[in-house]
């Protein structure tokens, strides 16, 4: 063999080994640690949002080789191939787990083709930082393709939260992940109730479609197809909804497993990323659940046998591992719309030193219905012995400030239902009006007070001057909305410092449904809840309120930021309007939110808003004026001067080798890692043509060299 060939082989082997070492599984982030009241940290992350695919080539022989299902960039889900929207090629996205007071910095890069994005930090109040809330066209412009937006905020309110895309149907397609803010054991009022609070004991539940959410949505709204999910995934894992003895070999996907040690007490944090009207009931065989927190807020502990979660809710519970060491089924049952499809899912609770096999018994949809006490039941009123509503929970501690118990400064009755109006987006009044088509093609529009929330063309928080005064509306500015479709930027102005009471009313006329409502920018007290009848009107609820028939808990009402409303009933919430900004209150079901089932609260006046960040992105309408039209006399002749440097400035500083390295790293599609700021700082400063990059990924720059070397080596051999 010639010396040249040996040289080529040496170079290629070196490059191959370096390349292999450069793409390990991402380790735990430095900020994921035991919280000890030490100095706060800066926690840097880089999110890459892109279209991806389940059961892709990255999965190799999954599920025939189960270990392949855990390969880097393999998204197995329920084993059904479909397009997804992923963050760093994983579902759920990277788990952010920090300590209270840490600064979270997330650079979100949008790789979606022709689609904007934004990330909402569900449960973070963004006190004084409304520009970080992540709601496109309210608090920011959508992150345009091929661009990066940096979110920066302090994790000031502890608890179990999560993040998700707030653009289109990206949340339904996989753009979500957990956000856990822990306290030290000295500060955590619940720490005496458990021995361990482990990072791996986060349970993120999501209903799951067999196709992209947009495809499901247009088939439902324009084609009369159903809007029912096909399965459930737990931490991105699951199987199609069949009993185990009916599954084909290729359907035997791995399940989520949670490990415990006998005799210990474990804090579990459960999050619902529900997409459609499909609340999920969860139970664990032979174990009860000691519920200790909801939506990040501690409650007086209650012991239950099962728990129902609606979209956007979070519950923390303590599990006591007091059984004989074995494996036990964790059962998830789909409710409401899922009843017709019998959708269920399982995960495994496994004791230390027990065999790594699945628990005994065949789980079916019928066997996921557990007897005993259930928390947060669907469409129940308080007072039932076996069904405990969230309104019957009590806050763990009484706040010193009791201002929320007085007479509210502002009271809003927000009644909603699916209304039979010719919404031009789905029914053309002239050619196919809502009552001019057969029943299955009729799309009833979910609205609040007969108004659809239509997003403004620019975010009012940062570009109010770009919007016409008539861009906003409320009940006082629209008419005849029961007869025609009313759509506008539905906004309610609340003076800063006001006590606000909102009475959410589900009229329940069109469908039997349950709607979870989420408030941005604040938590609220759940002071009352009741199911009145199968259907109810706003006038009936007003009369009940005026006559004193709505009993409020003004002593120790639980604190939440997401709550369901009984069908044909009401839920009453109260919050202090102390956080200036434009904050969304909306149904957290994806298809309902996207068609305008929400309202904007403007808290405070314009002078109360914090200043717009420097160089904050702008967007909106554009129409040419005469002064901006093209000059017809403009000379478009191409210069024939051979010295192109006279036409293009190329006299800038040359790019050195460090800048070339950063350019190579920036171009690499394989850099999908949580990038640590300290590692970024190891790279020398570069010009505007290059970005900072981690020196430990140097070998990634060898990727094109390796390809070239191997190609030439093959030719020579």
By the 8 A CB rule, do 407 and 420 touch? Answer: no
Handedness of CA 185, 188, 189, 191 (dihedral sign): negative
Does residue 686 surpass a pLDDT of 90? no
Bridge partners of 583? 601
Bridge partners of 560? 524
Structural domain containing residue 409? 403-596
Residue tagged 């021995």 (tokens): 195
Task: Tell me whether residue 633 is in a domain.
Answer: no
Give the lowest-confidence range in 134-148, 515-529, 630-644: 630-644
Whole-number Å distance between alpha carbons of 610 and 462: 10
For residues 367 and 245, state if they share a domain.
yes
Task: Tell me whether residue 21 is in a domain.
Answer: no
The pLDDT of residue 566 is 94
For residues 414 and 548, state if they share a domain.
yes
**pLDDT, tens digit, 9 for 90 and up, residues 77-123:** 999 999 999 999 999 999 999 999 999 999 999 999 999 999 999 99
Mean local confidence (pLDDT), 310-338: 95
For residues 111 and 157, state if they share a domain.
yes
> Which of 552, 568, 596 is the last residue in one of the domains?
596
Task: Tell me whether residue 382 is in a domain.
Answer: no
Task: Tell me whether residue 19 is in a domain.
Answer: no
For residues 343 and 489, state if they share a domain.
no
Please, what is the average pLDDT of the chain?
A: 87
Task: Tell me whether residue 583 is in a domain.
Answer: yes
For residues 500 and 539, state if they share a domain.
yes
For residues 352 and 439, state if they share a domain.
no
For residues 368 and 418, state if they share a domain.
no
For residues 303 and 338, state if they share a domain.
yes
Of residues 475, 470, 455, the one with CA closest to residue 414: 475
Q: How many distinct structural domains can be found in the chain? A: 2
The pLDDT of residue 574 is 98
Does residue 298 surpass a pLDDT of 60? yes
Instruction: Please report the DSSP string for 323-371 in residue order.
Output: SPSSEEEEEEEE-GGGGGTT-EEEEEEEETTS-SSPPSS---SGGG---
For residues 475 and 528, state if they share a domain.
yes
Whole-number Å distance between alpha carbons of 536 and 569: 7
> Which of 547, 581, 596 is the last residue in one of the domains?
596
Percent of the chain's residues with pLDDT above 70? 83
For residue 449, CA distances in Å to 411, 443, 446 come to 14, 18, 10
Whole-number Å distance between alpha carbons of 275 and 539: 31
Does residue 326 surpass a pLDDT of 50? yes
> Which of 596, 629, 652 is the last residue in one of the domains?
596
Task: Tell me whether residue 622 is in a domain.
Answer: no
Does residue 662 surpass a pLDDT of 70? no
**pLDDT, tens digit, 9 for 90 and up, residues 1-41:** 454 454 444 444 444 433 343 333 457 899 999 999 899 99
For residues 300 and 429, state if they share a domain.
no
Task: Tell me whether residue 471 is in a domain.
Answer: yes
For residues 365 and 475, state if they share a domain.
no
Which residues neighbour 642 within 8 Å (Cβ) at sequence distance 6 or greater?
none
For residues 107 and 224, state if they share a domain.
yes
The pLDDT of residue 117 is 98
Task: Tell me whether residue 187 is in a domain.
Answer: yes
Q: If pLDDT is split at 50, 70 and 90, which confidence band does 385 have? A: confident
**pLDDT, tens digit, 9 for 90 and up, residues 575-628:** 999 999 999 999 999 999 999 999 999 999 999 999 999 999 999 999 998 765
Q: Is it true that the peptide bond before 273 is cis, omega within 30 degrees of 0?
A: no
Mean local confidence (pLDDT), 239-265: 96
CATH of the domain at 559: 2.60.40.420
């Amino acid at each position: 063999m010639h010396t040249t060939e040996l040289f080529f082989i040496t170079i290629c082997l070196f490059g191959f080994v370096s390349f292999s070492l450069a793409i390990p599984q991402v380790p735990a982030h430095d900020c994921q640690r035991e919280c000890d009241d030490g100095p706060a940290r800066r926690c840097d992350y880089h999110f890459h949002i892109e279209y991806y695919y389940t059961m892709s080539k990255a999965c190799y022989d999954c599920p025939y080789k189960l270990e392949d299902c855990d390969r880097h960039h393999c998204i197995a889900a329920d084993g059904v191939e479909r397009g997804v929207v992923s963050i760093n090629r994983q579902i759920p996205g990277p788990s952010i787990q920090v300590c209270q007071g840490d600064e979270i910095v997330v650079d979100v890069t949008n790789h979606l083709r022709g689609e904007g994005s934004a990330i909402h930090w569900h449960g973070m109040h963004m006190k004084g930082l409304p520009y970080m809330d992540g709601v496109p066209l309210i608090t920011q412009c959508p992150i345009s393709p091929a661009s990066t937006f940096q979110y920066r905020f302090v994790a000031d309110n502890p608890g179990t939260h999560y993040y998700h895309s707030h653009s289109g149907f990206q949340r339904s397609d996989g753009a979500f992940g957990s956000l856990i803010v822990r306290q030290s054991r000295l500060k955590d009022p619940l720490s005496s109730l458990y021995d361990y609070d482990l990072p791996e004991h986060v349970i993120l539940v999501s209903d799951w479609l067999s196709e992209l959410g947009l495809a499901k949505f247009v088939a439902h709204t324009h084609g009369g197809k159903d809007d029912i999910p096909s399965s459930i995934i737990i931490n991105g894992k699951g199987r199609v909804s069949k009993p185990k003895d009916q599954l084909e070999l290729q359907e035997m996907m791995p399940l989520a497993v949670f490990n415990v040690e006998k005799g210990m007490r474990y804090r579990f944090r459960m999050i619902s990323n529900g997409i459609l009207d499909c609340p999920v009931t969860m139970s664990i065989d032979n174990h009860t659940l000691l519920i200790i927190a909801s939506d990040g807020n501690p409650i007086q502990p209650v012991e239950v046998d099962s728990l129902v979660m609606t979209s956007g809710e979070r519950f923390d519970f303590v599990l006591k591992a007091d059984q004989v060491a074995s494996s036990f089924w964790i059962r998830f049952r789909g409710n409401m719309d899922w009843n017709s499809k019998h959708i269920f899912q399982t995960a495994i609770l496994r004791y230390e030193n027990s065999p790594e096999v699945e628990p005994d018994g065949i789980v079916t949809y019928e066997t996921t219905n557990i007897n005993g006490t259930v928390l947060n039941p669907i469409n129940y009123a308080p007072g039932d012995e076996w069904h405990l509503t969230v309104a019957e929970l009590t806050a763990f501690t009484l706040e010193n400030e009791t201002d929320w118990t007085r007479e509210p400064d502002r009271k809003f009755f927000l009644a909603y239902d699916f209304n039979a109006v010719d919404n031009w987006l789905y029914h053309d009044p002239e050619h196919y009006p809502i009552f001019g088509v057969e029943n299955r093609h009729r799309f009833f529009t979910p609205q609040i007070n007969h108004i659809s929330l239509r997003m403004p063309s620019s975010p009012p928080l940062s570009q109010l001057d770009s919007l016409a005064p008539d861009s906003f509306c409320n009940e006082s500015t629209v008419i005849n909305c029961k007869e025609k479709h009313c759509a506008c930027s539905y906004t309610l102005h609340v003076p800063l410092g006001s006590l606000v009471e909102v009475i959410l009313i589900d009229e329940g006329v069109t469908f039997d449904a349950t709607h979870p409502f989420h408030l941005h920018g604040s938590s609220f007290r759940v002071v009352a809840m009741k199911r009145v009848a199968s259907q109810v009107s706003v006038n009936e609820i007003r009369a009940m309120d005026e006559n004193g028939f709505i009993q409020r808990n003004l002593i120790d009402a639980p604190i939440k930021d997401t709550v369901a409303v009984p069908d044909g009933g009401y839920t009453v919430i109260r919050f202090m309007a102390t956080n200036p900004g434009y904050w969304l209150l909306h149904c957290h079901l994806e298809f309902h939110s996207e068609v305008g089932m929400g309202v904007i609260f403007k808290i405070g006046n314009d002078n109360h808003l914090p200043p717009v960040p420097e160089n904050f992105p702008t967007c909106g309408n554009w129409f040419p004026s005469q002064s901006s039209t093209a000059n017809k006399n403009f000379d478009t002749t191409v210069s024939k001067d051979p010295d192109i440097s006279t036409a293009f400035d190329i006299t800038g500083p040359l790019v050195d080798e460090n800048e070339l390295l950063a350019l190579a790293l920036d171009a690499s599609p394989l850099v999908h890692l949580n990038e640590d700021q300290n590692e970024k700082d190891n790279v020398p400063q570069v010009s505007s043509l290059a970005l900072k990059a981690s020196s430990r990924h140097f070998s990634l720059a060898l990727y094109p060299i390796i390809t070239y070397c191997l190609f030439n080596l093959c030719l020579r051999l």
